[in-house]
């Protein structure tokens, strides 16, 4: 992310948050935060840590399928660095790009670095869609027909992106033909094919599927525990519907890591469940605080590994472009 883009997104996030705080009334937000049950918040943190570990295990499994041996601790460190880059540094290096670069250098194969991170992210997105489908079926009123339709449409589109190249021979043939037309197209098609091959590799689909689903369910549980920390009266089914929809909304690149959009999403949808705006905003910020904890841990990793050769490339102007 360029500095100007960072500033624009930060301003947008700040303006949205300011509007939401004024809308929810600062005094009510203060009451919500001062009434936090810290036992449930630490439970939320523990669930987030478990989800983090699941992601690292999935990433490691993807790399092992390509014959690349990376320890769990190494990948966890790279993941934490990704959190740090996402939240604190207005550089050209996004968290995922940093992970691609770091694991590519660690393995000596940047293509594997790119493909493994994309497969890890895409499989998580597909699982998010499935969890969201279930949540909308269980609690349709909290989402409403318009947003439910949009979410289902986006979900079907994402699944077709995966299934079309895997199941339809002419699509695969077309990809192979495109691969021969120019260096950039060849590289892009190679990335697509390299990412998709994880989904067809024998013995890999099942662990890829269950780790992705467990991660998304743990994400819902993290928010549910945080809601209990704020003494919110919200059903698990409602949270199962809201979390995936809001998560998908935060992927729209208009704010800083979804800040502001996420809080607005929770305030909007949970209002349908009778949750006050202040509580919904506090819920989002309380879980975002967990992300900041991971980011601070990433800063510690950065300090510890600052002079490692596999980190040095991140400080060059064109870093993050494997």
Q: Is the model's pLDDT at 280 over the cut of 90?
A: yes
pLDDT tens digits for range 35-83: 899 999 999 999 999 999 999 999 999 999 988 989 999 999 999 999 9
Query: What is the average pLDDT score of the chain?
Result: 85
Query: Which pLDDT score, from 0 to 100, does residue 182 have?
Result: 62
Q: What is the pLDDT of residue 2?
A: 66
pLDDT in tens, 208-244: 999 999 999 999 999 999 999 999 999 999 999 999 9
pLDDT classification of 166: cutoffs 50, 70, 90: low
Domain extents for the chain? 3-315
Residues 116 and 63 sit within 8 Å (Cβ to Cβ): yes
**Of residues 224 and 173, more confidently modeled:** 224
Whether the per-residue pLDDT at 122 is higher than 70: the answer is yes
For residues 27 and 276, what is the distance between their CA atoms, to the nearest angstrom?
Answer: 13
Place of tokens 């800083």: 256
φ, ψ (nearest 5 deg) of residue 145: -65, -35
pLDDT confidence tier of residue 92, bands split at 50, 70 and 90? very low
What is the mean pLDDT of the segment spanning 155-177?
70
Q: What pLDDT was estimated at residue 1? A: 56
pLDDT digits (tens, 9 = 90+) for 125-155: 999 999 999 999 999 999 999 999 999 999 9
Give yes or no for residue 23 having a pLDDT over 70: yes
């Amino acid at each position: 992310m360029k500095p100007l883009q960072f500033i624009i997104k930060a301003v947008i996030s700040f303006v949205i948050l300011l509007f939401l705080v004024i809308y929810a009334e600062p005094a009510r937000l203060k009451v919500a935060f001062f009434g936090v049950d810290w036992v449930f918040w630490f439970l939320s943190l523990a669930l987030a840590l478990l989800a983090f570990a699941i992601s690292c295990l999935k990433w490691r499994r993807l790399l092992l399928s390509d014959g690349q041996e990376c320890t769990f601790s190494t990948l966890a460190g790279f993941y934490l660095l990704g959190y740090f880059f996402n939240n604190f540094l207005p550089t050209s290096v996004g968290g995922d790009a940093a992970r691609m670069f770091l694991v590519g250098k660690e393995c000596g194969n940047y293509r594997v670095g790119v493909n493994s991170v994309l497969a890890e992210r895409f499989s998580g997105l597909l699982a998010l869609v499935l969890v969201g489908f279930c949540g909308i079926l269980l609690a349709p009123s909290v989402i409403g027909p318009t947003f439910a339709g949009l979410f289902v449409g986006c979900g079907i589109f994402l699944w077709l992106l995966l299934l079309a190249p895997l199941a339809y021979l002419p699509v695969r043939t077309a990809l192979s033909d495109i691969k021969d037309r120019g260096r950039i197209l060849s590289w892009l098609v190679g990335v697509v094919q390299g990412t998709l091959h994880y989904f067809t590799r024998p013995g890999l689909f099942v662990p890829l599927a269950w780790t992705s689903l467990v991660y998304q369910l743990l994400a819902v549980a993290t928010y549910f525990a945080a809601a209990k920390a704020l003494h919110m009266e919200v059903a698990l089914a409602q949270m199962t519907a809201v979390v995936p929809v809001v998560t998908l909304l935060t992927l729209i690149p208009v704010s800083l890591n979804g800040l502001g959009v996420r809080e607005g999403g929770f305030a909007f949808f949970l209002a349908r469940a009778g949750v006050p705006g202040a509580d919904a905003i506090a819920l989002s910020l309380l879980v975002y605080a967990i992300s900041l904890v991971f980011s601070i841990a990433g800063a510690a990793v950065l300090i510890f590994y600052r002079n490692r050769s596999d980190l040095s490339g991140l400080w060059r102007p064109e870093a993050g472009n494997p």
